[in-house]
Amino acid sequence: MAKKILIADDEPNIVISLEFLMQRNGFEVKTAGDGEAALRLVTEFRPDLILLDIMLPLKSGYEVCQKIRENPDVSGMKVVMITAKGRDIEVAKGLALGADAYITKPFSTQDLLDKVKSLLSGAA
């Protein structure tokens, strides 16, 4: 069965590219434009991995990540934080809140893909 990925970002332009990229690599993809939609899809869609932007409307990426980690039903879910905030301090915070990886914009799509694949194969 294809692995499922949730893309949570409020920038439609990048969502289109990421969705296309992940689909082409054989993943099942859903997208969310804000923090609350992302949390809803976490329980409904049950993705194996979430690409999570930090600056989301309604609920920030940090908050979404914390809620995921508080929920034992989705304990195996991988969280990759994607953000334009590139300072060490934000990286540290993201990882401390339970993210599995932290990727700073702009990034190489190949690197992202490698990271996603390695996280998912590790989980399997």
Nearer CB in complex with another protein: 46/87: 87
Is it true that the peptide bond before 72 is cis, omega within 30 degrees of 0? no
At its nearest, how many Å lie between another protein and the CB of residue 111? 10
Contact positions vs another protein (CB under 8 A) = 11, 13-14, 16-18, 20-21, 24, 82, 84-86, 104-110
Nearer to another protein, 42 or 101 (CB): 101
* Closer residue to another protein (CB): 40 or 87: 87
> Least distance in Å: CB of 64 to another protein?
18
Residue 106 Cβ vs another protein, minimum distance, rounded to whole Å: 4
Q: Which residue, 38 or 51, is less far from another protein as judged by CB?
A: 51
H or E element that contains 16: helix 12-24
- The vertex-111 CA angle with 106 and 117, nearest 5°, equals 130
Q: Sheet harboring 4-8: ordered strands across?
A: 28-32, 4-8, 49-53, 78-83, 101-104
Whole-number Å distance between alpha carbons of 83 and 106 = 9
